[in-house]
Amino acid sequence: MGHYYFIKRISAALIAASMILCACSDSAVFAYDDDAPSLCEAYSDYFRVGCAVNSWDIENPNSEQYKIILKNFNTLVMENESKPENLHPKEDEYYFDKFDEFVDFCEDNDIVVRGHTLIWHSQCPDWFFKDGNEDASAELILERIKEHVTTIVSRYKGRVSTWDVVNEVIGDDVSLRYSNWSRLVGDYDGDGDKYDFIETAFRAAREADPDARLIINDYSLESSTDKAIRMYNAVKKMLEEGVPIDGVGFQMHIGKDADVEAMRENYRIISRLREIDPDFLIEVTELDVNCYGWGQEEKDVEITKKFLKEFSKTYTDVFEMLMDLSDEGILDSVVFWGLHDGVSWLNGSHKNYPMLIDRDMKLKEAYFDVIELPAERKKAE
């Protein structure tokens, strides 16, 4: 760590100590400062680091967000604008403008593009499932999936590196999610499972862009062993049937008190898919650390020094684990779900502090702790 950052770091720590009441202002370094340290540079030996953005973040080169993005991230995903309801709201209407601009921006700045998401039960227009006033037949829905996936993926062939082909297909009860997809398509090929809509989407995506990485993305895989096993079994069966799935996306919407050691076991479960496909991968696709536990209200969360330490510890433990996965050659991309505290989806019901950059766009103490890990690991080697 250079002299400059040392001084900054000390001042950040002093400020953190004196501002026990406010998690959002524990550093005097702004993420967009020219000389602020860069996350993706720090992790360049391990994995790409990215975040979810919206079109307005990349519109104005003089904006703070724009500068933060270019400094810190070498992979990006759109938070909402590349979802089915936005790209393909009606059967014969596609709206590509925002995603086109996003892909151009990434290309101009050597940023790897993730596409999120082709098939999801949420943010998906109803026309997919209707034939007039009736439910559409399985054949019709599978045709629509093929057309939807082929049109989108082939448009960005060679330009979108990774697609979340399907999102959140395992339900909270750990069975295949009951959705319009699984309900209406069902076990179309009669092989005893209802993965047919998933298989069709992956096959169409592979055909449209043979070089794109194809991901099955889900939440709670890191925290629920039952869900990790369920995902393992589903992907195993599909891989054995030749469905072109390249990796599992761990969303990683975790809590401040997450048990990171326990997470390692769940990553291991999914890693075993390498026994079937030696190139099988894991990606971290939507990382954030919720500062509220289940049922907690704003009044229950006091931002003390202890709280900030715990927050930082969760992040550093996670990044240590992710570096281990990178060392094993199974992980090369880690993406945060949002740019800073102020724009996180987790502010829905209470003011939240889930990111490494606060709502004033200052770097948190946790940011410095995380950014130092790769260099510390090198030193220890």
Binding site for ligand 9MR (CB under 6 A): 79-80, 122-123, 167, 251, 286, 345
The smaller minimum CB distance to ligand 9MR, of residues 163 and 188, is found at 163
Closest contact distance (angstroms) between CB of 356 and ligand 9MR is 17
Closest contact distance (angstroms) between CB of 333 and ligand 9MR is 16
Closest contact distance (angstroms) between CB of 220 and ligand 9MR is 11
Quick one: 221 exposed, middle or buried, by C-beta within 10 A (0-12, 13-18, 19+)? buried
Q: From CA 379, how far away is CA 381, in angstroms rounded?
A: 6
Closest contact distance (angstroms) between CB of 1 and ligand 9MR is 34
The smaller minimum CB distance to ligand 9MR, of residues 52 and 204, is found at 52
Ramachandran category for residue 192: left, alpha or beta (phi over 0 → left; psi -120 to 50 → alpha): left
Closest contact distance (angstroms) between CB of 242 and ligand 9MR is 27
DSSP notation for 242-267:
T----EEEE--EEETT--HHHHHHHH
Closest contact distance (angstroms) between CB of 253 and ligand 9MR is 6
Q: From CA 169, how far away is CA 134, in angstroms rounded?
A: 24
End-to-end CA distance of the chain: 17
Interstrand relation of 253-255 and 281-290 (parallel, antiparallel or unpaired): parallel
The smaller minimum CB distance to ligand 9MR, of residues 284 and 373, is found at 284
The smaller minimum CB distance to ligand 9MR, of residues 186 and 342, is found at 342
Let me know if 376 is a catalytic residue: no
The smaller minimum CB distance to ligand 9MR, of residues 286 and 341, is found at 286
- The three-point CA angle 33-35-37 to 5° equals 95
- Which residue number places its CB atom closest to ligand 9MR? 345
Let me know if 286 is a catalytic residue: yes
Rg of the chain taking only CA atoms, in angstroms: 21
Q: How many CA atoms lie within 13 A of 369 on its CB side?
A: 20
Task: Identify whether the C-beta of residue 301 lies closer than 8 Å to the C-beta of residue 307.
Answer: yes
Q: Which of 164, 218, 283, 369 is catalytic?
A: 218
Q: How many CA atoms lie within 13 A of 68 on its CB side?
A: 22
Let me know if 101 is a catalytic residue: no
The smaller minimum CB distance to ligand 9MR, of residues 25 and 347, is found at 347
Q: From CA 119, how far away is CA 112, in angstroms rounded?
A: 21
Q: Which residues are tagged catalytic?
A: 168, 218, 286
